[in-house]
Structure formats: structure tokens, C-alpha cells
Amino acid sequence: MALCACKKETKALKHIEPPSAPPKAVTQGRKITLNEAEALGRALEQAVQNQNAAKFETLLDLAAMVAHGMPHEMRGTAQAMEVTRGILSTLSGNLLKNLSAGDYRFLSVEKTPEGAAAHMRLIPADGSLNYHRLTIGRNAAQQPVAVDVYVYVTGEPLSHTIGRMVGQLSGGTDADSLAIAKGMQRASAALQAGKPDSAEAILSALPAAWKKQKSIMQMRILAANGVAAQKKLDGKPIGNAYRHAIEAFETAFPKANNLPLLLMDYHILEQNFPLAAQALDQLDQQVGGDPYLNLIRANIAIGQNDAEAAQGFAETLIKTLPDMAAEGYGILLDLAIQSKDHTEVTRVLKALEAETLVRFPVNFNNAKPFADYMASPEYKKWKAYKKEAE
């Protein structure tokens, strides 16, 4: 393999590294206020939900992100101008498409030395969890715009990701840098194709010096997570690769902004629920409070055999996030079925159908978990409710 033939670091390494820091938030004019940051976050949420491309493009200064991420050696060159045009021609549409495929919501704002930032929550179509932190500045018309986006799953600002992509495509012609770039592209494609084992094998074959790059360490965590999750689903031991990837990242970047999210996922999969709860609380504080995390708290409580706590978290989720009520009621229904509280089963079933779009057939398609309930007197109440609803 070409990846195994890499025996030395080359000067092209610096082309792959992103800028050392995100851009300053205040591009010009007075500092962004908390109210302005909130208005921007809410406007971005609406633009994504409505798939309003024109509005979306006015809220994100993608040109500033591309300019900041541009490798220093390329800045001001004709090549940089050509690359920028190519990126901007597709970046906005792809971002909007990816965000609108999931659930994208404004969460909170916070003061910063430069003004204010906004936190957004993204639940992608696959049901995973991600957060964005918007770095906000002003455009030429003095209107607030996001000049960068810190992405928790990748562990870096979007401008850095763009800069790395440009570096990989323009980082020279020597065999080492080309092999590394191709390897990362193949690993990324494998992850997107749902083949984490292939991505893990590709990344494991990279030279030791390159494995210390933050972006590659992040990618290895994603790959190891996918492999471990599949093993767990198959009833097999998850192995040590995921733990090694997490520990290496935590040692190298103990203050990484996305570390609580990574540790929460890891400890849940490892079924170390006390540490998972600790990481979750850190994440919750970091993003300014997210009521959606009560869903994860409920599942952690279930893992700890604490049905009372799980019920409380599920009820809090229903009250604070009505659009997530189905998930909360789903937990309450599972708890009631497991405890054979048939009166509670009836209550939750009625609430589910009254407050959400979830509908159950009157006989539950004879699903085994409902067998005891269907043999109880409460089942008659359910049948009467369904008949009246029809």
C-alpha cells in the first residue's frame, strides 16, 4: 500500500494543518450583543427549516471562512481565487441540504471577549447528536453574520476543515503528501458509506507523525465508535480500539471543546453510566443548556436500573420540548410495560396519540411486549378509546 511506504515527514505537512485559531469575531463596527446573537441563531434555524437558500446565504459569511482557512502559501494567488470560487459555488447548498435533512435548532447565547456567540443543536438524519458554536461578526452593512462555525463532531471550526481540504488538494506533488491526502479522503468516504471498519484500517496505516494530527485523531474516534457500536449490536466485545482512540485524544487535547461530547458517547457505549452522566452534565453546561439531553439522561438512568429517575427525565423532556414528546412518551411506555403497570400503559398510549403523530393499531400487531397488557382489564379501555377515536 502506498500509505505504508511513507517513512518521513515532509514540508507538505503544514499544508494540511488549518489556521492556529478561528478568526476574530468582530470584523468591523461595534461588538455583537446577546440579543443580536440570539436573533441570528433563530433566523438561521428558520432558514434551515424552511430550506430558504437566499436567507441562509445572508446569515453565514462563507467567503470569510474560506479566506481564513486558506493556507498561507496560497493567499493572494490566482490559485486561491479559483479555489475560493469553486468552494463557494457548492458549499452553501451542501451545508443547507445537510442541515435541513436533520433537526437544527437554536439553543443559547453567551458573551465572548469579542461580543457574543450562539449555540445550535443538530440531530442529523441518523439520529446522532452534534452542536455548532457560531462565531459572529459584522458584514459590510454592519449586520450580524456567522464568520465561522465550530463543529463539535469534527472538533474544529468550519474554516479549519475547509483549509485542510484545500491543503489536501493543493499541498504539493510529493508521494508522501499525496498518499496522506488520498488516505484521508478514502477514510472519509468509508465513514460516509457506513464502513467504519474500512476507515479504521486506512487510518491505522498512516505514519505515526500524521496520527497525531487533531483531525486524523477525530476521524479515528468516529471510525472506532462505528466499529464498537456494530460489535455491540452483534453481541460481541467492543474491543480496545475505541478506548485507545479516546484516551489518545484526551491526552493530546485535554481541553478540547468537544471532549465532553466524545466522552459521553464513549462511556455510554462502554456502559460506564456514572462517567457518561458526568460528561453529559459538562456538555449541557458547555452549550448553555439543552433540554434534549434529558432524553439521554433518561436512557442513562435506565442503564442504571433507576426507573424513577428515567421517568422524571422523560417527563421533563415532554414538558420542555413538546416536539420531542414522542421520544419521551416512548420511554414512559417502555417503563410501564416492563413494570406491568397497565393503568400507566393506557395513560401513556392515549397521551401519545393525543399529543403526537404516533398511532398504534388496536391489537399492536400482536407484538410480544404488549401480551400481558392485552390480557389485562386495561386493554378494554384501550379498545374503547380506539373505537371512539375512529
Provide the CATH number for the domain around residue 156.
3.10.450
In a domain, 224, yes or no: yes
Whether residue 281 is found in the same domain as residue 316: no
Whether residue 235 is found in the same domain as residue 303: no
Whether residue 191 is found in the same domain as residue 45: no
The rounded mean pLDDT for the chain is 87
| Per-residue model confidence (pLDDT) at position 7 | 32
User: Residue 342's pLDDT band (boundaries 50, 70, 90)?
Assistant: very high
In a domain, 102, yes or no: yes
Whether residue 16 is found in the same domain as residue 145: yes
Whether residue 53 is found in the same domain as residue 200: no
Percent of the chain with pLDDT over 70: 89
Whether residue 58 is found in the same domain as residue 22: yes
| Per-residue model confidence (pLDDT) at position 160 | 85
pLDDT tens digits, one per residue of 7-28: 333 344 343 444 555 565 555 6
In a domain, 191, yes or no: yes
| Per-residue model confidence (pLDDT) at position 366 | 94
DSSP calls for 67-79: HHHS-GGGTTSHH
| Per-residue model confidence (pLDDT) at position 238 | 86
Could you give the count of Cα atoms lying within 13 Å of 278 in the half-sphere of its Cβ? Answer: 8
How many domains, in total, are found in the chain? 4
Classified as helix, coil or strand, 219 is: helix
pLDDT over 80 (residue 40):
yes
Domain region containing 316: 295-390
Out of 64-78, 94-108, 335-349, pick the least confident: 64-78
If you average pLDDT over residues 195-208, what whole number do you get?
86
Neighbour-count burial for 102-118, b at 16+ CB within 10 Å, e otherwise: bbbbbbbbeebebbbbb
pLDDT over 60 (residue 158):
yes
183 to 147, 154, 190, 220, 385: CA distances (angstroms): 30, 17, 10, 12, 59
In a domain, 168, yes or no: no
pLDDT over 50 (residue 288):
yes
| Per-residue model confidence (pLDDT) at position 22 | 56
Whether residue 384 is found in the same domain as residue 277: no
Whether residue 248 is found in the same domain as residue 301: no
Classified as helix, coil or strand, 1 is: coil
Residue where a domain stops, chosen among 108, 134, 163:
163
Could you give the count of Cα atoms lying within 13 Å of 299 in the half-sphere of its Cβ? Answer: 16
Whether residue 140 is found in the same domain as residue 266: no
Cβ partners under 8 Å of residue 296, min gap 6: 129, 264, 268, 280
In a domain, 169, yes or no: no
Query: Of 3 and 269, which is predicted with more confidence?
Result: 269
| Per-residue model confidence (pLDDT) at position 1 | 24
Cβ partners under 8 Å of residue 251, min gap 6: none
Q: Any long-range contacts for 83-92 (C-beta under 8 Å, 24+ apart)?
A: 83/166, 83/169, 83/170, 87/62, 87/162, 87/166, 88/62, 88/63, 91/62, 91/66, 91/162, 92/53, 92/56, 92/57, 92/60, 92/62
Classified as helix, coil or strand, 322 is: helix
Residue 304 DSSP one-character state: T
d(CA 216, CA 246): 12
In a domain, 172, yes or no: no
Whether residue 95 is found in the same domain as residue 21: yes
| Per-residue model confidence (pLDDT) at position 174 | 52
pLDDT over 90 (residue 189):
no
175: nearest Cα among 2, 362, 383:
2
In a domain, 367, yes or no: yes
Residue 128 DSSP one-character state: -
User: Residue 176's pLDDT band (boundaries 50, 70, 90)?
Assistant: low
What is the chain's length?
Answer: 390
Whether residue 103 is found in the same domain as residue 39: yes
Whether residue 263 is found in the same domain as residue 319: no
In a domain, 171, yes or no: no
Out of 28-32, 162-166, 187-191, 233-237, pick the least confident: 162-166
If you average pLDDT over residues 164-186, what whole number do you get?
67
Query: Of 249 and 121, which is predicted with more confidence?
Result: 121
Helices (H) and strands (E) in the chain, counts: 19, 5
- Cα torsion 186, 190, 196, 201 to 10°: value is -30
d(CA 355, CA 337): 20
pLDDT tens digits, one per residue of 218-263: 889 989 988 998 888 888 888 888 999 999 999 988 888 899 999 9
| Per-residue model confidence (pLDDT) at position 14 | 41
| Per-residue model confidence (pLDDT) at position 26 | 53
User: Residue 178's pLDDT band (boundaries 50, 70, 90)?
Assistant: low
